A and B are shown apart, each in its own frame.
Chain A
Amino acid sequence: EAQVTQNPRYLITVTGKKLTVTCSQNMNHEYMSWYRQDPGLGLRQIYYSMNVEVTDKGDVPEGYKVSRKEKRNFPLILESPSPNQTSLYFCASSLRRGNSPLHFGNGTRLTVT
């Protein structure tokens, strides 16, 4: 089954404790992206990747890192999480950038206390 898999689904952590949210897709998609969803703000892009070893900032990259060492995986790293990073995070992929619909994972709800 074609899918984007994120783990974990729920995560509660404390300020400053490094964490990684994993994302994997099995559709051989070139393009992958991370979004966060906050009330009243919709989904905002954090980082994206055009292909292996090619990543770039989205609209809200501060406090986040990503890597794309393999085509299928695109982990999101919070080196020192803060409470304002409490949010619902979605990983997404598409065949290519531009007019190619995104396929989303089921989300990771992160709480930073």
Chain B
Amino acid sequence: DQQVKQNSPSLSVQEGRISILNCDYTNSMFDYFLWYKKYPAEGPTFLISISSIKDKNEDGRFTVFLNKSAKHLSLHIVPSQPGDSAVYFCAASAQTGANNLFFGTGTRLTVIP
């Protein structure tokens, strides 16, 4: 039973445009959310996180939005660059006693020059 879902396996975007990656979760106990980026032959690297007390967190070109009532978060990349082409994983945890991150299945982003 997948508690974190990324329903789009792939996304293609033109360079300079906005990339929007979506993630849904089912567990209402989740209160900490992260995005990881993964290049081929490398491990995932942490990109940005958000706590449930916020609805937006921004870091340079990357912004994560959280809609708790809809159990939905999204990652916006503006402007998209070819180097952003990677697989993006959404992850979630319940901070209290958290010992595990639950990951989505990933979305492969391709930024076309």
Contacts and interface: CB of A to CB of B under 8 A. Distances in A.
B25 interface: no
Contacts of B41: 106-107
Interface residues of A, number: 26
What is the interface of chain B mostly: helix, strand, loop, or mixed? loop
Interface string B35-61: 010000111111001010000000000
A6 B96 CA distance: 29
B98 A42 contact: no
B100 interface: yes
The bracket for how many chain B residues form the interface is 20 to 34
Contacts of B36: 104
Given A40-B105, A104-B45, A106-B42, 11 more contacts: A42-B2, A42-B6, A42-B89, A58-B100, A98-B93, A99-B98, A101-B46, A102-B101, A104-B36, A106-B43, A107-B42
5 contacts: A41-B105, A50-B99, A59-B100, A99-B51, A106-B43
